[in-house]
Chains A and B, each alone.
Chain A
């Protein structure tokens, strides 16, 4: 059974590209367009890994991260945060709130795929 990946981003084009990339890697992919959708998606069908954009409407990636981590059942979800703001404080904030890894946009698709494999491998 392949791993389930949830992609949350408000940019339609990025969503398309990530979905394509993750599917090509062989994961089961679902998408969310904003923070609230992401939380609902997690509640409905818990993914193994999340690609979470930091800046989203309704709920930011940070808030989503915090909310998911506040539920002990979700402790094993791997969260990989993506941000277009490259500031150190943002990264520190994401990691402090419980993200497992962090990537800055624009990212290399190869590196992202590699990172996802690593994270899932370590967990599996």
Chain B
């Protein structure tokens, strides 16, 4: 046993540490250096799911039912797989519309309905009280266990004021008030609190793992030993099996529990608070979706071993399994470990209570008290004065109230139930929100009447089938209600409603309540028409990802005054905050002063959204409506506004496309410019080459003529030789000028083409005839091979083809040895066209130079004995052949001569022919 003063001192010390962490978190947030802006902290804060119920209750449940503690954690693990889809949408919606609680979420979706908000809040309070009671019970029992000497019965709980549990509740309320309601923020975020919760999650995990390790390796010799002993024990063996011995495995119950837990992890007020409201960055969800399940896995690893260990050590029924985590270390004299475990349990309980109380107090204030207060004359729309203080006061009172009510429930019903059963009652209550929430996010047809009907029916059935029996079992109601049914009617038995048997009470209650809830929601929604305001909200929620801020439709029309809206904001958010919000709004519009802000629908919506964060959507709607002149929207207006918005969206899309195409055009222009530049450079290079080619013969001509002019005594032979050179260079100059002009004409498309049906063979023969004299003179031989009877004509310009042939033949003559050179001409005819080849027995051209010969002013071979040429013959020839749709190429090897060939197609394609004709015209 541990002295009570020590336990109390350690508990308060722990709360102080918590206080310090929260204070630090708030301080850093105020400095703009958030410590919770991390996916790790986000994931750890989610672990507020694991309360004292997990900490103590899981072991208890495992000791009674074996693996049945698991579904409560399998559900959340499965739910997190869907987190990216469902939670992200919830976060996006909540952030866009400043939604700060589940009640607000549902109310806002269904036309900012205040009645719906109040109903959800009531359900939450009623549903959550047992859960808070459970935490108080856990702390109180844990405290009693630590301070009672081993083996003695636990002390009776003292009278009201003598009961330490009351003081625990008050202390928690104080802590929550300090960190949950320090200031009013329209986003309702509490950085310090989140930091403290994440810290608590670490403490409880470490403490639980510590006691787990102690039991498995301290009390027993590892997992193997523990499970072997349990298997050897006939009473414990069934705990290790799914089917619980002889009974069949209860699939419905197993899956009902999993679904229940899946829904709870999303819709419990504290989960909504940490996962949605306190979320800093949507992307944190990604890491949380595996870290949180991992956390659940870790905290569950030792549940069964501790349960089995406790049962083996104490024997069945001898000790309360809910508190094995404390009794096992105590029984072995490890009092410090027990104290540490108690602190872990304390952290599990306080974490839950703090977050839950904050979440519920926000709901109570915004959705229950404010709508009522604002209707009174004192605080109503015509009243003035800063209400921020009042808002905070309401929340503080609400927190205190919630904890005291929880304490009351604990006193009234707490003793009758095991921890887990209490928790499941709460789970089943919040599961009632699922149809309205999920339907609201994904089903546009779902409406307010449907949600109201579903929630009312589901909640009523929850009370009847689950809450009433729990009160009966606590002895507060006549047991006949459960055994005989209401008014003695058997089909009204709360745990066997309409004769449904064979299910445990939880599955039974869940089945009926959700069945009725969903049916009512769907049927009534289909049956009734939504109001305009609902229809517009439905669109905003369901399509939240499809709209960006700039193209959000604003469903409001009427007249407003800037000063009225400003005053309203100041009343609920304070003067400073209002100033900041309006300055920010003006800045976003690009306005210098807040007084220039236009009082239009956008501003009304902005103010309403900001107010919604502080006082709830319903109240915000009412307050804004009271200071502006509104025109009632009907469904046609909603459709019109939506139409306008989608036009705006289409317009912005068109703009985007236009800017894209402009961008494309710009890059195309840039590319064209680059091309022009390179063309310009090509032209420049061409001019430079032409200049070079012109200057070279001019140089010789000038030099020789000058020298002859200077030197009268030069002998005749010398003079004659020089004059021959001058004449030759002059001829070269003439040729060059002609060819440059020719080339330029062809390239510019100004060349004249006189097309007719040409017999290629006769052109080749003519060319051979006209050049054969030159060949003979130089002792070269020239032969034609592959002569045909007749060759089908080809559409071309015969003079141009002659030019090509002469060029090839004279080139060949230049490169063959003198004398002894042999040039062979081949003609090949196919249906596609005619190929002409000119083969010489010269030195040949190296492969790396072969393509260069077709470039302008590029001549291959040994330059020292380079024959006189302009360097334009081959390029011009190739251009001519290509003009007729053909191609020209070279095959050669060094030392094995060269063969220049060209191919001319017979153009069957009428279009191609036409094109050629046109060009020649």
Contacts and interface: CB of A to CB of B under 8 A. Distances in A.
A92 to B, nearest CB: 15
Contact of A33 (B700, B703, B704, B863): B863
Interface stretch (B293-301, B690-698, B904-912): B690-698
Interface string B707-745: 100110000000000100100110000000000000000
Interface string A1-38: 00000000011111011101100100000000110000
A44 interface: no
Interface string B573-609: 0000000000000000000000000000000000000
A57 B863 contact: yes
B701 A33 contact: no
Contact of B692 (A12, A85, A109): A85
Contacts of A33: 863-864
Give the residue among B700, B702, B725, B729 with the most A Cβ atoms within 10 A.
B700
A10 B729 contact: no
B631 interface: no
A24 B699 contact: no
A33 B728 CA distance: 20
A106 B699 contact: yes
B720 to A, nearest CB: 14
B918 interface: no
A105 interface: yes
B864 A108 contact: no
A106 B694 CA distance: 10
B711 A18 contact: no
Interface string A54-91: 01111000000000000000000000000011110000
Contacts of B695: 84-86, 104-106
Given A34-B864, A84-B699, A105-B699, A17 B707 contact: yes
Given A84-B691, A85-B691, A109 B699 contact: no
Contacts of A21: 703, 707
B701 A106 contact: yes
Contacts of A86: 691, 695
Contact of A14 (B688, B692, B699, B707): B699
B706 interface: yes
B703 A109 contact: yes
Given A106-B701, A108-B702, A108-B706, A11 B696 contact: yes
Given A10-B864, A10-B866, A17 B700 contact: yes
B706 A11 contact: no
Nearest to A56: B863
A13 B707 contact: no
A17 B711 contact: no
A86 B695 CA distance: 10
A85 B703 contact: no
Contacts of A10: 863-864, 866
A72 B691 CA distance: 35
A109 B703 CA distance: 6
Contacts of A20: 707
A18 B711 CA distance: 15
Contacts of A106: 695, 698-699, 701-703
Contact of A85 (B688, B702, B866): B688
B700 A11 contact: yes
A94 to B, nearest CB: 15
B415 to A, nearest CB: 103
A84 B706 contact: no
| Range of interface residues on B (Cβ < 8 Å) | 20 to 34
A110 B699 contact: no
Nearest to B718: A20
A58 B702 CA distance: 27
The winner among B691, B699, B702, B866 for most chain A CB atoms within 10 A is B699
Contacts of A18: 703
Contacts of A56: 863
A56 B863 CA distance: 8
A24 B707 CA distance: 10
Contact of A34 (B707, B729, B863): B863
B198 to A, nearest CB: 71
A115 to B, nearest CB: 14
A16 B707 CA distance: 12
A105 B706 contact: no
Interface string A110-121: 100000000000
A33 B864 CA distance: 6
Nearest to B695: A84
Interface string B176-199: 000000000000000000000000
Given A34-B864, A84-B692, A84-B695, A14 B711 contact: no
A17 B703 contact: yes
B691 A109 contact: no
A14 B691 contact: no
A54 to B, nearest CB: 9
A20 B704 CA distance: 9
A110 B706 CA distance: 8
Contacts of A24: 707, 711
Contacts of B700: 11, 13-14, 17
A123 to B, nearest CB: 24
Given A13-B725, A17-B704, A109-B703, A84 B696 contact: yes
A57 B866 CA distance: 11
Given A85-B688, A86-B691, A109 B864 contact: no
Contacts of A14: 696, 699-700, 703
Contact of B725 (A16, A84, A85): A16
Contacts of A110: 706, 710
A58 B863 CA distance: 9
Contacts of A57: 863-864
Contact of A109 (B697, B707, B729): B707
A42 B725 CA distance: 29
Contacts of B866: 10
A87 B688 contact: yes
Query: Residue among A17, A55, A57, A109 with the most chain B CB within 10 A?
Result: A17
Contacts of B697: 13
A13 B702 CA distance: 11
A17 B704 CA distance: 6
A108 B703 CA distance: 7
Contacts of B698: 105-106
Interface in B673-703: 688, 691-693, 695-703
B587 to A, nearest CB: 56
A17 B711 CA distance: 13
Contacts of A84: 691-693, 695-696, 699
Given A10-B864, A109-B710, A55 B699 contact: no
A105 B725 contact: no
A55 B857 CA distance: 12
A3 B817 CA distance: 39
Interface in B643-697: 688, 691-693, 695-697
A89 to B, nearest CB: 10
Interface string B802-837: 000000000000000000000000000000000000
A64 B699 CA distance: 22
A-B residue pairs, 10 tightest by C-beta? A17-B703, A84-B695, A57-B863, A33-B864, A13-B700, A106-B699, A105-B699, A106-B702, A84-B692, A109-B706
20 contacts: A10-B866, A11-B696, A12-B864, A13-B725, A13-B729, A16-B725, A17-B699, A20-B707, A24-B707, A33-B864, A34-B864, A57-B864, A84-B691, A84-B692, A87-B688, A105-B699, A106-B695, A106-B703, A107-B699, A107-B703
Interface of B: 688, 691-693, 695-704, 706-707, 710-711, 722, 725, 728-729, 863-864, 866
Given A13-B700, A104-B695, 18 more contacts: A10-B864, A11-B699, A11-B700, A12-B864, A13-B697, A13-B728, A14-B696, A17-B699, A17-B703, A17-B707, A21-B707, A34-B863, A84-B699, A85-B695, A86-B691, A87-B688, A106-B702, A110-B706
Interface of A: 10-14, 16-18, 20-21, 24, 33-34, 55-58, 84-87, 104-110
